Amino acid sequence: MNLTDKVAIVTGASSGIGAEFARMLTQKQAYVYGFARRVDRMDKLKEEIGDRFVSVFCDVRDEKSVESAVNEVVKRSGRIDVLINNAGLGKYGPVDKLSIEDWDVQIETNLRGVFLCTRAVVPIMKEQNAATGFGGHIINIASIAGLIGNPTLFAYNASKFGVRGFSEAVMKEVRDHGIKVTCIYPGSIETEFSSMSGSAAPAHAMTPSDIGETVLHVLETRDNYLISEVVMRPLRPKG
Residues with a known catalytic role:
156
Rounded average pLDDT over 107-123: 98
Strand locations in 58-215 (E): 82-85, 136-141, 179-186
Residue 86 C-beta-side C-alpha neighbours within 13 Å: 29
Inter-axis angle of helices 16-27 and 39-49, to 10 degrees?
30
Per-residue confidence band for 203, with pLDDT thresholds at 50, 70 and 90: confident
Cα angle, residue 38 at apex, residues 34 and 41 outer, rounded to 5°: 75
Give the residue from 19, 9, 73, 68 showing the smallest Cα distance to 43.
Answer: 19
- The answer to whether residue 197 scores a pLDDT higher than 50 is no
Q: Each residue of 59-113: pLDDT tens digit?
A: 999 999 999 999 999 999 999 999 999 999 999 999 999 999 999 999 999 999 9
- The answer to whether residue 195 scores a pLDDT higher than 80 is no
**Would you state the pLDDT for residue 236?**
83
Rounded average pLDDT over 140-152: 97
- The answer to whether residue 194 scores a pLDDT higher than 90 is no
Across the chain, mean pLDDT equals 94
- Which residues face 31 on adjacent strands? 7
d(CA 103, CA 93): 10
**Would you state the pLDDT for residue 146?**
97
Q: What is the number of other CB atoms lying within 10 angstroms of the CB of residue 33? A: 26
Q: Each residue of 4-58: pLDDT tens digit?
A: 999 999 999 999 999 999 999 999 999 999 999 999 999 999 999 999 999 999 9
Confirm or reject CATH 3.40.50.720 for domain 7-227, answering yes or no. Answer: yes
- The answer to whether residue 147 scores a pLDDT higher than 90 is yes
pTM greater than 0.85 (yes/no): yes
Write the burial class of residue 120 (CB in 10 Å: 0-12 exposed, 13-18 middle, 19+ buried): buried
Express as a percent the part of the chain with pLDDT over 70: 95
Domain ranges of the chain: 7-227
- The answer to whether residue 198 scores a pLDDT higher than 70 is no
